[in-house]
Amino acid sequence: MTEMSQDNQRIWVYLEQEEGQAHSVSWELLGAAHRLAADLPGSVVEGVLLGHNVAHIAEEAFHYGASRVYLIDDPVLQVYRNLPYGFGLSNLVKKYQPEIFLVGATTLGRGLASVIATRIQTGLTADCTELAIDPDKKILAATRPTFGGNLMATILCRQHRPQMATVRPRVLPLPQPLAQAGGEIIREPLGMAEAEVAVRLVHFMPADAGERVNLEYAEVIVAGGRGVGDPAGFKLLDELAGLLGGVVGASRPVVDAGWISYAHQVGQTGKTVRPKLYIAAGISGAIQHRVGMSGANFILAINTDPNASIFQVADLGLVGDLYQVIPELINQVKTAQQSQPLAGGRHA
C-alpha cells in the first residue's frame, strides 16, 4: 500500500464550490495550510475539488498556493449532495492518505466534513479559530471556542489520520494570490451513479435581496442591538452603512425578536465577520457576539451603559445615546464625502 514517507505529508484543503464558484474560505484555508506546512518540514499543500466542469477552480487554487489539486469531475456532482461528495472525498482520502484535512465551516462544509470523518473513522474538530502544529508532537493543534465562546479548547487527534478540522469563513485572513502560479491536476473517477443517490433537488428558492447580505466579506458593518429600541431604528443604521459602503449587522436578541432577519446576525450562532470597520450601536456585547466580531480592524461602540462589555473590545467607545451619535455620524460622513467627490457611496 501507499507508504508515506515522513517528508511527504499532505496537508489537504477542500476547495468548496457551488455553481462553479469557489467559496473564499477555500483560499483562507490554503493560507492556513501554508503556515502549518512551515512547521511541518517536507509537507505539501494540496487542494481537493469535486463538482462538474469546475477545473477552473483548480487553476485559481494554484494562485492561492496549492501545488496540486485532486479533481473528481462528474455530472452526479452538479448540485452539492452530501452522499456522493462524501463518498468521493472519502475514497480520495483512503487512496492518498493526507496527514491533515481542512474544510470550511460553512453550512455545506460542516456536514460534509462530518460525513467524511465518520466514513474514515477519524477525529474532526469543528469551527476552529486557530490552527497550529504542536512543536513536540508535530501534530495539528486545533483551537476552538466552546460553551458559547466562554472557553477555548485546543483539540488534538493523536493517532487517527487524517487530522480533520473545519474553520469558519473570515476567521483567518485571505492570502494575496500569486500573479504567476501553476500546478498539477490529478483526476480521479467518482464511482457512483445517479441512481445510487436517493435525494433529489426539486426546487431552489434563492434568498431575496433583503436576505442576501454579504456580511462575512463586508468591509464596513454597522450593527444594532437591543439598544436600537425598535425595528424602525435599523433604517438609521442602514443609512449610515450605505454612506460608508457597508451593510447592517445585528446581535442575536434583535434577530430573535424579529426586528431584522437572521442573515444579519453576527456572533457565535450567526456569522463571523472581519470588516475594516465595525460600528456596534446599542449592543451590550455578550461573549457570543464578541467572538463573531472581535477580528474587525477598528471597532467603534456606542452604548448608554458605561459598563457594557462591548467596550472591552472596542478601539473607541462612546458612552451615549446612539440616536444622538448616529445622526451626527451621518451628517459628518456626508460632509466628508462631499469634500471627496470621487469617493464614497456603495462602491465595492
**DSSP-derived secondary structure for 69-118:** EEEEE-GGGSS--HHHHHHHHHHHHHHH--SEEEEE-SHHHHHHHHHHHH
Binding mask 161-190 for another protein (x = CB under 8 A): ------------------------------
Interface residue with another protein among 94, 184, 328, 346 (CB under 8 A) is: 328
248 by Cβ neighbours in 10 Å (0-12 / 13-18 / 19+) ranks as buried
Which one of 176-184, 222-230, 233-241, 331-339 is the stretch in contact with another protein (CB under 8 A)?
A: 331-339
Supply the minimum distance, in Å, between the C-beta of residue 115 and another protein. Answer: 5
Supply the minimum distance, in Å, between the C-beta of residue 184 and another protein. Answer: 30
Supply the minimum distance, in Å, between the C-beta of residue 67 and another protein. Answer: 28
Which one of 54-62, 183-191, 229-237, 315-323 is the stretch in contact with another protein (CB under 8 A)?
A: 315-323
How far from the centroid of its chain's Cα atoms is residue 33's Cα? Answer: 15
What is the spatial distance between Cα 269 and Cα 253, in angstroms, rounded to a whole number?
Answer: 11
Phi-psi region of 222 (alpha: psi -120 to 50; beta: other; left: phi over 0): beta
Q: What value does the CA radius of gyration of the chain take, rounded to a whole number of Å?
A: 22
Which one of 1-9, 45-53, 199-207, 227-235 is the stretch in contact with another protein (CB under 8 A)?
A: 199-207
Torsion on CA atoms 211, 212, 216, 221, rounded to nearest 10: -70
Interface residue with another protein among 1, 3, 7, 159 (CB under 8 A) is: 159
Site for another protein in 81-140 (CB under 8 A): 82-83, 86, 106-108, 110-111, 113-115, 117-119, 121-127, 134
Residue 106 phi, psi (nearest 5):
-90, 175
**Contact between 8 and another protein (CB under 8 A)?**
no
Site for another protein in 261-300 (CB under 8 A): 268-269, 275-277, 286-288, 291, 294, 297-300
Site for another protein in 219-238 (CB under 8 A): 219-220
Across 15-66, where does the E strand assignment appear? 17-18, 21-22, 44-51
What is the spatial distance between Cα 9 and Cα 346, in angstroms, rounded to a whole number?
Answer: 45
Contacts with another protein: how many residues (CB under 8 A)? 93
**Contact between 241 and another protein (CB under 8 A)?**
no
Which one of 45-53, 63-71, 148-156, 174-182 is the stretch in contact with another protein (CB under 8 A)?
A: 148-156
Residue 45 phi, psi (nearest 5):
-100, 120
3-class DSSP assignment, residue 220? strand
Site for another protein in 31-70 (CB under 8 A): none
**Contact between 1 and another protein (CB under 8 A)?**
no
What's the grid cell of residue 197?
443517490
